[in-house]
Amino acid sequence: MQHDPVAHREPARGEVGARAHLGEAVRREPADPPGGEGGGDPLVAPADGSALPEIPDKVEWARILPFIGMHLACLAVIWVGWSPVAVLVAVLAYFVRMFAITGFYHRYFSHRSFKTSRVGQFIFGVIGATAVQRGPVWWAAHHRHHHAYSDKPEDVHSPAQHGFVRSHMGWFLTARGFRPDLRRVRDLLQFPELQWLDRFDIVVPVLFAVGMFGLGAILDRFAPDLGTSAGQMLIWGFFISTVACYHGTYTINSLSHVFGRQRYKTGDTSRNNWLLALVTLGEGWHNNHHHFPSSTRQGFYWWEIDITYYILKVMSWLGIIWDLKPVPTSVRDHSARRIVRSH
């Protein structure tokens, strides 16, 4: 897989101080990940670059039971019913959290394809954490590992190597698959607030769920004509929208390596899929992304709808983010081929 120059570039001399003065979240070389240089911690790669310590590749029920519980909770819709407001909130919650995952967990934290302030990265880190996909450090560590070993045996969510079900959702339910290589995210470990989102990853989702329940209770009390209850808002606004966001995100690990068109020879099975691009706000242009991971834009051509990029572009006009990385025309048009793969 291609190296991501943005994610690993070191600031020029004097650049750190100048940009920090402006409030930009800049990279420094932080101390070793928790546990020291390896230090026997199975979550941290040894300092000599050798492989992570072997741990059993078995399902961890402490993780799988809550995951199953999130899905089962959706069935409560049978008892709480629905209302237009509850469904609308569920759709909005899906959209906002999917954007936080695609725009920030993926394109910012994992690939550094644009810049923002420290406050900005924390705010969108918190919004992303409401999607119950852990914190940005864990997420980015796994994604950078994926690009380093795409569709090789080390790629824990490769359908070519481990099958469709495991690539879609089984990989993070095992001890070995769940473990991140924190050495890949030293640039993120310098921010204690981001580490906090990982360490206490249950706090933000619980607060979000409580907020949804409270919103429903307020609407039930002060706007009864809307027909929206606290239970409806909890089930639709939190559980249903979260599970939908789960599987929308997971399709990029699974379906986008199986169905679609391969424009570039990337050495893996990544594909472009317009339908997945709509569901995931632009992530379905996965073969484009694997061809040039550093680009903020994943829909390389005007007809490739990339909603996340459009929002990020507007945010850049407002000064919330800046220095969006384009895809050079020479890179976009280099070795392009159009081969339809169907399975």
Q: Is the pLDDT of residue 196 over 50?
A: yes
Measured CA to CA in angstroms, residue 219 lies from 5, 45, 91 at distances of 49, 50, 18
Name the residue among 159, 114, 157 with its Cα closest to residue 298.
Answer: 114
Domain boundaries, the chain: 5-28+60-341
How confident is the model over 102-129, as a mean pLDDT?
98
How confident is the model over 54-67, as a mean pLDDT?
80
CA separation for the pair 302, 228 (Å, rounded): 40
Please report which confidence band the pLDDT of residue 337 belongs to, taking 50, 70 and 90 as the band edges: low
Sign of the torsion formed by the C-alpha atoms of 128, 168, 162 and 146: negative
How confident is the model over 263-273, as a mean pLDDT?
93
Strand partners, 339: 262
How confident is the model over 165-180, as a mean pLDDT?
84
pLDDT value, residue 71:
97
pLDDT digits (tens, 9 = 90+) for 81-115: 999 999 999 999 999 999 999 999 999 999 999 99
pLDDT value, residue 26:
52
β-pairing verdict for 260-262 and 321-322? unpaired
Tokens of 97: 């959290």
How confident is the model over 137-148, as a mean pLDDT?
94
Please report which confidence band the pLDDT of residue 68 belongs to, taking 50, 70 and 90 as the band edges: very high
Q: Is the pLDDT of residue 35 over 90?
A: no
pLDDT digits (tens, 9 = 90+) for 292-301: 999 999 999 9
Whether the CB-CB separation of 286 and 252 falls below 8 Å is answered with yes
Please report which confidence band the pLDDT of residue 335 belongs to, taking 50, 70 and 90 as the band edges: low
Looking from the CA of 325 toward its CB, the CA atoms found within 13 Å total: 21
pLDDT value, residue 24:
57
Whether the CB-CB separation of 107 and 282 falls below 8 Å is answered with no
How confident is the model over 252-260, as a mean pLDDT?
92
Helices (H), 14-60: 15-21
- Termini Cα distance of the chain: 23
CA separation for the pair 270, 144 (Å, rounded): 15
Name the residue among 118, 123, 111 with its Cα closest to residue 22.
Answer: 118
Measured CA to CA in angstroms, residue 184 lies from 58, 133, 176, 228, 241 at distances of 24, 18, 16, 45, 31
Name the residue among 7, 15, 34 with its Cα closest to residue 190.
Answer: 34
How confident is the model over 187-194, as a mean pLDDT?
96
pTM: 0.84
pLDDT value, residue 132:
96
Please report which confidence band the pLDDT of residue 308 belongs to, taking 50, 70 and 90 as the band edges: very high
Strand partners, 117: 24
Q: Is the pLDDT of residue 131 over 70?
A: yes
Q: Is the pLDDT of residue 28 over 50?
A: no
Q: Is the pLDDT of residue 30 over 80?
A: no
Q: Is the pLDDT of residue 222 over 60?
A: yes
Name the residue among 131, 78, 106 with its Cα closest to residue 243.
Answer: 131
pLDDT value, residue 162:
83
pLDDT value, residue 51:
62
Q: Looking up tokens 């020879």, which residue turns up?
A: 265
Q: Is the pLDDT of residue 186 over 60?
A: yes
CA separation for the pair 316, 323 (Å, rounded): 8
Tokens of 155: 């790629």
Name the residue among 166, 161, 135, 139 with its Cα closest to residue 150.
Answer: 161
